[in-house]
Structure formats: C-alpha cells, structure tokens
Amino acid sequence: MIVNQIGYLNLGAVNKLKENGKLFSIYKTNKNTVILVLNTKKKSLHLSYPQKNRLPFKVVEGKKIAKCELIVCSETAINITADGWNNNDQIMAYEEFNLN
C-alpha cells in the first residue's frame, strides 16, 4: 500500500477517531515500531511512500517503509492503549495515497 504520512496522533485523538466511527488499524512493523493506518483492516501490509520523481500514473512504484502485522482494528477494539507507541503517548498515522 502506498501511503502519505499524516503526522503524530495522541491517544485522545485516536479515541476520538474511534468514537466518530472511523475505520483504522494499528500495526506493529518489522522495525519494532507501532503505527496507525486509516481506512484499512488488513492483517498484514507492505507500506511504501510514492516516488516523487514518477508521473502520477506510475505511483505503483514506491520507496519501501516497512512490513506490518495487525495488532488492533477499530471495529473490534474495546480499549485502545498507548503501549508501544512513541514515548507511550503518540503514534505515527498514515493514510492511503490519493492523487487528488
């Protein structure tokens, strides 16, 4: 999946996403970090950034970020905790790359 970085979210912002019914999943990467990806609930992902030097119709090529395994999906999670997050208070968030 080719993604854009949204930025860091704190636990309050993540809980607000859940309260508003937004679909997201929290993943553990092969680099032993924890990230949040909006609008997905796949069990595993291969994340990459879009190549900046490619034409828009060639965005299938990207710079690899990480391989990820699902930890928590917003649809099934009861409590979301900040365990394993950056300083245990923030998580890097991504969304699927869109040309628009």
Q: Give the model's pLDDT for residue 49.
A: 82
User: Would you say residue 100 has pLDDT above 80?
Assistant: no
Q: Which of 71, 80, 70 is nearest to 16 (CA)?
A: 80
Q: What is the DSSP string of 62-89?
A: EEEEEEEEEEEETTT-S----TTSBTTT
Write down the H helix ranges in 1-100. Answer: 11-19
90 near 79, Cβ under 8 Å? no
pTM: 0.85
Where do we find the tokens 């299938």? 60
- Per-residue pLDDT tens over the stretch 45-99: 998 887 766 555 555 556 677 899 999 999 998 889 998 899 889 999 999 887 6
